[in-house]
């Protein structure tokens, strides 16, 4: 691992101040889960601290855009209550933040940045610790890492043995209670833990911005195959198989239910269910084949470049048609069996596959691959935000309520698991179903929470469900 050589032996004075500020903000704004305005406040605090503590310099437009992208992804926690959507955005925000602090230009550099964040943690803590020693006006600690380790072990042992002895003797428990500050009903333990964790993350982030670690491994250029046929034969075979599949699909896409039953003996619903996941995997494998063939194919002559564009471009077009077929099957599947989170999520990933295929075609047409990784990262971030704005849980509820109105069939258990995002759509159900479906949700939105858990979708659901009376779960068992 290589780093920039001009890192000072101790962090500048502003670093521990910024770290302490971020930790304090996190301790105050710590929510009880991953949704709520507190998540946004903590993230803004971390970003601000990293900016303050990093090297002085003019921010680049791409860096500013990256900060805004991370903030936008985290903001989903304030206006969506579906944790599966919020958690996905938070993971993507964390990955983007790592790439941002190490100024990653490729996927390999971003992955190495995550590895470096772990490896450099002791060095980052020691680096910041020396700054704390200087701020106190004393001499710098010879081994701040050892001091920190001893302090952590000492506190941990005191807590463990204190808890054991308190559980073994009532008199000791009473003495311990007298010595412990009375903070009422407020449980500060989790908040302090969040504050410490955020301070550590902020320290690592600032140190990475100073160190800019780079892997000592320099990847050699990909070895191209000697002749065109060595890559064209396998890639062309995949193309021919894909075309043959699409030819058979043309009749089923437009032939209707009767044609499907005559040719394959299945109803449209059974036909849809039987093939989506195979097409999903086929699309992912096609992207992998195109990526590998692009890197391995010789492109020295005009004929070589023409072969690459014809075969790989055709393969991308065929894969786009496969995506269309998969989406058509999923549409039939949802019409027959209703919408679920898995089905809606898989549809979103298929659409993302389509965008990646278009990006590959654009790169092959002459736009180049130098910024391809960053372009895909940007598309992924925009897609995640669009998916959150689409409001998946509300759309799932809408589709299933519409299906109930047409067919009289509905999965009450599945609808009961949806988040407060779906409250408005679930209120469209008839009273005997609505009350059963919304009982758990109403209890969730009316639960007493800290201010840091404030969430726009949850607040809207609270007002929408204001007059709903709780129902005995036993009455909904049937």
Gyration radius (Cα) of the chain, Å = 28
Q: How confident is the model at residue 187 (pLDDT cuts 50, 70, 90)?
A: low
Q: Are 91 and 39 in contact (CB under 8 A)?
A: no
Structure-token pair, residue 440: 């758990």
Amino acid 184: pLDDT: 43
Q: Is residue 60 over pLDDT 70?
A: yes
pLDDT digits (tens, 9 = 90+) for 353-366: 999 999 888 887 76
pLDDT digits (tens, 9 = 90+) for 413-423: 889 999 999 99
pTM of the model: 0.81
**CB atoms near residue 311 (< 10 Å):** 21
Separation of first and last alpha carbons in the chain: 62
Amino acid 247: pLDDT: 81
- Least confident window among 21-35, 45-59, 301-315: 301-315
Q: Are 414 and 340 in contact (CB under 8 A)?
A: yes
Nearest to 197 by CA among 23, 77, 37, 34: 23
**CB atoms near residue 474 (< 10 Å):** 7
The residues, any chain, with a CB within 8 Å of residue 458's CB and separated by 6 or more, are 35, 81, 420, 444, 445
Q: How confident is the model at residue 183 (pLDDT cuts 50, 70, 90)?
A: very low
Amino acid 20: pLDDT: 92
Q: Is residue 165 over pLDDT 60?
A: yes
- Residue given tokens 């299933």 in the structure block: 400
Q: Is residue 69 over pLDDT 80?
A: yes
pLDDT digits (tens, 9 = 90+) for 72-109: 999 999 999 999 999 999 999 999 999 888 888 777 77
Q: Is residue 393 over pLDDT 80?
A: yes
Structure-token pair, residue 95: 């990955």
Query: What DSSP state is assigned to residue 185?
Result: T
């Amino acid at each position: 691992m290589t780093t920039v050589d001009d890192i000072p032996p101790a962090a500048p004075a502003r670093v521990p101040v910024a770290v302490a500020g971020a930790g304090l903000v996190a301790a105050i704004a710590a929510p009880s889960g991953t949704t709520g305005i507190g998540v946004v406040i903590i993230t803004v605090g971390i970003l601000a601290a990293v900016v303050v503590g990093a090297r002085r310099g003019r921010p680049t437009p791409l860096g500013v855009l990256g900060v805004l992208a991370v903030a936008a992804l985290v903001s989903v926690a304030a206006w969506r209550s579906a944790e599966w959507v919020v958690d996905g955005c938070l993971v993507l925000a964390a990955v983007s933040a790592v790439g941002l602090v190490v100024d990653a230009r490729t996927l390999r550099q971003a992955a190495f940045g995550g590895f470096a964040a772990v490896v450099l943690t002791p060095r980052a803590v020691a680096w910041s610790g020396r700054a704390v020693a200087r701020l106190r006006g004393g001499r710098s600690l010879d081994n701040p890492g050892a001091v920190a380790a001893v302090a952590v072990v000492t506190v941990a042992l005191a807590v463990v043995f204190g808890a054991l002895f308190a559980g073994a003797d009532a008199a000791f428990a009473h003495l311990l209670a007298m010595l412990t500050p009375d903070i009422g009903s407020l449980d500060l333990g989790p908040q302090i833990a969040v504050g410490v964790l955020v301070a550590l993350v902020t320290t690592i982030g600032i140190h990475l911005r100073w160190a800019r670690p780079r892997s000592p491994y320099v990847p050699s250029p990909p070895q191209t195959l000697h002749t065109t046929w060595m890559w064209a034969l396998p890639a062309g075979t995949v193309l021919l198989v894909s075309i043959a599949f699409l030819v058979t699909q043309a009749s089923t896409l437009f032939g209707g239910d009767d044609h499907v039953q005559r040719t394959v003996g299945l109803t449209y619903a059974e036909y849809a269910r039987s093939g989506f996941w195979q097409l999903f995997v086929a699309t992912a494998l096609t992207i992998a084949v195109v990526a590998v063939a692009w890197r391995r194919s010789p492109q020295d002559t005009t004929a070589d470049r023409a072969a690459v564009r014809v075969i790989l471009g055709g393969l991308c077009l065929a894969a786009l048609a496969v995506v269309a077929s998969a989406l058509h099957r999923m549409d039939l599947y949802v019409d027959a069996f209703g919408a679920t989170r898995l089905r809606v999520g898989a549809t979103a990933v298929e659409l993302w596959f389509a965008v990646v295929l278009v990006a590959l075609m654009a790169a092959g047409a002459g736009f180049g691959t130098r910024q391809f990784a960053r372009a895909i990262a940007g598309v992924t971030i925009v897609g995640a935000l669009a998916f959150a704005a689409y409001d998946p849980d509300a759309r799932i509820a809408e589709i299933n309520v519409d299906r109930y109105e047409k067919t009289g069939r509905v999965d009450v258990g599945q609808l009961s698991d949806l988040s407060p995002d779906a409250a408005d759509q679930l209120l469209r159900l008839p009273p005997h179903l609505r009350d059963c479906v919304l009982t758990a949700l109403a209890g969730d939105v009316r639960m007493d929470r800290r201010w840091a858990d404030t969430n726009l979708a949850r607040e809207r659901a609270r007002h929408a469900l204001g007059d709903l009376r709780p129902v005995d779960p036993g009455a909904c068992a049937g």
